[in-house]
Structure 1
Amino acid sequence: MDLPFVPLQQFQDFLLCLARVIALVAAIPAFAGSQIAGRIKIGLAVMTSLLLFPAMAPYTPKVAFTLTGFGLLIVNEVLVGVMIGLVTQMVFAAISFGGTVIGYQMGFAAANIFDPQTTQQLSLMSQFVNILALLAFLALDIHHFFFRAIVESYTLLPPGYLDFSQGAVQELMRLASHMFVLGVKFSAPILALLLITNLVLGILARVFPQLNVFMLSFPLNIGIAFLVISLTLGGTFSVLRREFDTMGENILNILHLLK
């Protein structure tokens, strides 16, 4: 049975490709969130699928699908796209975590702003470092890697049922634990200097009881934090580049473990 002007097998191949692509496009940090209209995401996913699915057709199973079986394949394709995007989102979550810790130590605990990517209230410093990470993500052309990952994902993991017994879940848990380590590394230089600053202010408060340490600490902590951020900006981008480079290896490991 064929659809008008389109063979049924070709239409099924397109839907399988579209399911993986649209999940991946929705998970890319540059396109995630409500600041990008849903029509733009869908249009980009459809155009990418139209260009890719002829090359992906040899990797799709050539069987007559039942409605239930085809629905399960669609769900599996969406899961593959989401898991690839989740690996990237963990890097940005680590940066956001480090920025939140820095903001609390600077005295910005109550300074929250609306984040259009997550549609939530985030710390001011968390949003600031998120924008820096997103600029580095775009400047290094990492978003181009995701479109290459779509093609490579079909050669490594053709459409079919996923196998979660090979350690894919454990690998995701390892990456999640690394997320907290990365957040601590990102915030460690600033936290160390702020700790020394608070120690010095504590000593001054005991030596000069008339000194208003509480009012002095706010501008001092903010100034020192921004000074350290500006001095360590090159190192921060080096860390981000290393994490973005290893992100590709992590995605390939996930695909191998899902075979």
Structure 2
Amino acid sequence: MIPAELSAGQLGQWVGQHLWPLFRLASFLMVIPIFGTQLVPARVRLGLALLMTILIVPMVPDVPEVEALSADAVVITLQQVLIGVGMGFALTALWQLFVIAGQMIAMQMGLGFASMVDPANGVNVPVLSQIYTITITLLFLAMNGHLVAFEIFIESFRVMPIGLEGLGQAGVWELAHRISWMFASAMLLALPAVTAVFIVNISFGVMTRAAPQMNIFALGFPIGLIFGLFSIWVLHANFLPHFQEYTQQTFEFMRGLQRP
């Protein structure tokens, strides 16, 4: 039976049961690489968030009874946005890892000038970074990584329920330190190709020292570029194992971020 009167707490709980999961999910969809890019309109992301919220609400634990316009409700709303953005940032770092690795390799081999506009982010990136971005996007979708990401996100409502307590200071610091993991992993991914091209540049420097009349720019640049392309071709055979390893680390980090 429908009660004759609804108290402010019951009304706030009913609104929060639907509104707070929407804030967390919409923040997550606005940040993650595939759905949160400029290629997907904002109204499409909002509609997708509304539809997924309707499916998620029956699985969400009970929310605290607070007034809809109280200070506690504002704090809970900000916590849900922070959780959604934090989990989305952890997944975005996986994409930016390969973008940075492509920039490192391209700058070392002389392809840094060959840049194009990334339609997903609207910024100029080297062509090699764009190739890496397309490759990992196709691999991520082929491996059903988006389904795993949404599964981990739904688990966050059980592990980190809706309330005044969210990520906390420890979770924010883990997200900040995730940037160092991104740069370190990109350096490890690009290190073989960068080292190979660097050895070629050193050898041309020695040749220039021995024969100063040789034009290093006319001779060394095309050879270094060809050797860099050969290094990328050789290293591309191990691209999938590296992507699987970094993806697994990202999913483990997203699960570990939910621990109190």
Bucket of the pairwise TM-score, normalised by the shorter protein: 0.7 to 0.9
Tell me if structure 2 keeps the 8 A contact 1:98–1:186. yes
The residue number in structure 1 matching 2:257 is 254
Per the TM alignment, residue 91 of structure 1 is displaced from its structure 2 partner at its CA by 2.0
- 1:55-70 equivalences under 5 Å are 55-56=59-60, 58-70=61-73
**TM-score computed with the length of structure 2 as normaliser:** 0.87
Does residue 128 of structure 2 align to residue 125 of structure 1? yes
The residue number in structure 1 matching 2:24 is 20
1:217 corresponds, among 193, 198, 220, to 220
Amino acid corresponding to residue 25 of structure 1 in structure 2: L
1:52 corresponds, among 51, 56, 67, to 56
Tell me if structure 2 keeps the 8 A contact 1:106–1:222. yes
Per the TM alignment, residue 214 of structure 1 is displaced from its structure 2 partner at its CA by 0.9
Tell me if structure 2 keeps the 8 A contact 1:97–1:180. yes
Tell me if structure 1 keeps the 8 A contact 2:67–2:73. no
- Report percent identity of matched pairs: 25
Instruction: Please give the per-residue CA displacement for 1:236-255, whole angstroms capped at 9, x wherever unaligned.
Output: 22111111112122112211
Tell me if structure 2 keeps the 8 A contact 1:77–1:159. yes
Instruction: Please give the per-residue CA displacement for 1:122-149, whole angstroms capped at 9, x wherever unaligned.
Output: 2232222222222222222111112112
The residue number in structure 2 matching 1:29 is 33
Amino acid corresponding to residue 70 of structure 1 in structure 2: A
Q: Structure 2: how far apart are the matches of 1:48 and 1:164? A: 23
Cα RMSD, aligned residues only: 2.1
Higher deviation after alignment, 77-86 or 21-30:
21-30
Per the TM alignment, residue 22 of structure 1 is displaced from its structure 2 partner at its CA by 0.7
Instruction: Please give the per-residue CA displacement for 1:168-205, whole angstroms capped at 9, x wherever unaligned.
Output: 23322332211111011111011111011112222333
Tell me if structure 2 keeps the 8 A contact 1:61–1:160. yes
2:201 corresponds, among 198, 201, 208, to 198
2:247 corresponds, among 214, 238, 244, to 244
Amino acid corresponding to residue 132 of structure 1 in structure 2: T
Higher deviation after alignment, 119-128 or 19-28:
119-128
The residue number in structure 2 matching 1:74 is 77
Amino acid corresponding to residue 157 of structure 2 in structure 1: Y
1:10 corresponds, among 4, 9, 14, to 14
Higher deviation after alignment, 38-47 or 115-124:
115-124
Tell me if structure 2 keeps the 8 A contact 1:59–1:154. no
Does residue 239 of structure 2 align to residue 232 of structure 1? no
**TM-score computed with the length of structure 1 as normaliser:** 0.88
3-state secondary structure, aligned to 1:162: coil
- 1:130-141 equivalences under 5 Å are 130-141=133-144
Instruction: Please give the per-residue CA displacement for 1:210-254, whole angstroms capped at 9, x wherever unaligned.
Output: 443312223222222222222212322211111111212211221
Q: Structure 1: how far apart are the matches of 2:167 and 2:22? A: 22
Q: Structure 1: how far apart are the matches of 2:89 and 2:146? A: 14
- 1:141-156 equivalences under 5 Å are 141-156=144-159
Tell me if structure 2 keeps the 8 A contact 1:24–1:81. yes
> Which runs of 5 or more structure 2 residues have no equivalent in the other structure?
none
Amino acid corresponding to residue 46 of structure 1 in structure 2: L
2:119 corresponds, among 98, 116, 119, to 116
The residue number in structure 2 matching 1:106 is 109
Instruction: Please give the per-residue CA displacement for 1:62-105, whole angstroms capped at 9, x wherever unaligned.
Output: 34443433232111111101000111112222222221111111
> Which runs of 5 or more structure 1 residues have no equivalent in the other structure?
none
The total of aligned residue pairs comes to: 252
Higher deviation after alignment, 234-243 or 163-172:
163-172
